[in-house]
Structure 1
Amino acid sequence: MNLIENNNQKMLSPKQHEELLIVLKERFEKNMHRHEGLEWDKVEAKLHAHTGKLWSLHEMERTGGEPDVVDYDKHTGEYTFYDCSAESPKGRRSVCYDRQAQDSRKKHKPENNVIDMATAMGITLLTEEQYRALQKLDDFDRKTSSWVQTPADIRELGGALFCDYRFGHVFMYHNGAESYYASRGFRGSLKV
């Protein structure tokens, strides 16, 4: 990966920066139903003003998330990107919920966990509410599932939550936080 390290900040090379903006613009224009009334030029200007966020969007893209704009907050002036890949991002599957769950496995430990990956990418794991809002834009996770933020009381008891879309409805389930499956990953959000 051609990243430039600058005072511990992760930045894209000029070529990666340009290529990512092209991909994001094409996706934005192809999926106007996700962000009716918003204009790409304003989104792009915001991205140019916050180039550090491009690294996180690049990581979302690199791991298969297909990030797209899903909201604009008039009060803060922030655009919100969610992972909008049809299925849970391929580069973020087969991971348990957090470091504690990963460390608790005696055999067949996964290589990573959701919370550490999201933190390293500079994104936030979707909440159940955000996941349900995303499903109003398109049908996602018809064959896969995605971990979502888990309330502390559930996590303290060893559980974690995930969602999927089946039979025309969003379902939320629970599992042991240490579990992981080839068809379960996670979706994130990023405010710019």
Structure 2
Amino acid sequence: MKSNKKELSPTQRQELLAVLRSRFEKNSNRHKGLDWAKVQAKLEADTKKLWSLNEMETTGGEPDVVGYDKGTDEYIFYDCSTESPKGRRSVCYDRKALESRKEHKPENNAIDMAAAMGIELLAEEQYRELQQLGKFDTKTSSWVKTPSDIRKLGGALFCDRRYDTVFVYHNGADSYYAARGFRGLLRV
């Protein structure tokens, strides 16, 4: 049962840290030169961020460290699941799109879900960076942050990988598909 409180129990924290450490060690190509002990220290110092990572994990995102920003002293986590996170699919782009649907509304939208989880959607550039670390979304697709001028006209952007190439597409922001979700990022 989920609590409205954005905090994990000590047991949940330790379990999540163990999962994150294992993934970090198994996928060292994603974060060359970074030290798990430093990442863990940052995570233990910010339980709200740990809660957000748990939300990423429980919805199927398989978050992992993909970089470090020296300027802000933050580690950057992306959803690194092979396909778009299963617990975040079949959603339209944002609240405005959800409210505009007259019938067959999805249960939620990507922007509100990300905000509730304390994460952001990947931008197209970040999505392309992720694709440099492996092959993601070969059977699914993921909504990405959409420029406001496109959104004002009713559209939204999504990306996937087909034919060993990363594609960016457009769709009506109110569309949703069983194979389209969203990937997030978190700075810790």
TM range (shorter): over 0.9
Q: In the alignment, which of 117, 120, 127 is matched to residue 116 of structure 2?
A: 120
Matched, 1:48 2:44: yes
Counterparts of 1:2-17 in structure 2, within 5 Å, are 3=3, 5=5, 10-17=6-13
**Mapped partners of 1:127, 1:70: distance in 2:** 15
Matched, 1:96 2:84: no
Q: In the alignment, which of 27, 30, 34 is matched to residue 34 of structure 1?
A: 30
The secondary structure found in structure 1 opposite 2:55 is helix
Instruction: Give the alignment's Cα RMSD to 1 decimal.
Output: 0.9
Per-residue CA shift, 1:23-47, capped at 9, x if unaligned? 0000000000000000111100110
Matched, 1:163 2:155: no
Per-residue CA shift, 1:65-124, capped at 9, x if unaligned? 000000001222100000000000000000000011001111110000000000000000
Counterparts of 1:40-189 in structure 2, within 5 Å, are 40-189=36-185
**Mapped partners of 1:4, 1:88: distance in 2:** 25
Counterpart of 1:181, as a letter, is Y
Counterpart of 1:40, as a letter, is W
Q: Once the 2 structures are TM-superposed, how far is the Cα of residue 168 of structure 1 from its aligned partner? A: 1.0
- Structure 2's unaligned 5+ residue stretches are none
**Mapped partners of 2:152, 2:142: distance in 1:** 20
**Mapped partners of 2:184, 2:101: distance in 1:** 25
The share of aligned pairs that are identical, in percent, is 72
Counterpart of 1:171, as a letter, is F
Alignment TM-score, normalising by the size of structure 2? 0.98
**Mapped partners of 2:69, 2:3: distance in 1:** 30
Number of equivalenced pairs: 188
Matched, 1:24 2:20: yes
**Mapped partners of 1:108, 1:62: distance in 2:** 26
Counterpart of 2:187, as a letter, is K
The secondary structure found in structure 2 opposite 1:150 is coil
Alignment TM-score, normalising by the size of structure 1? 0.96
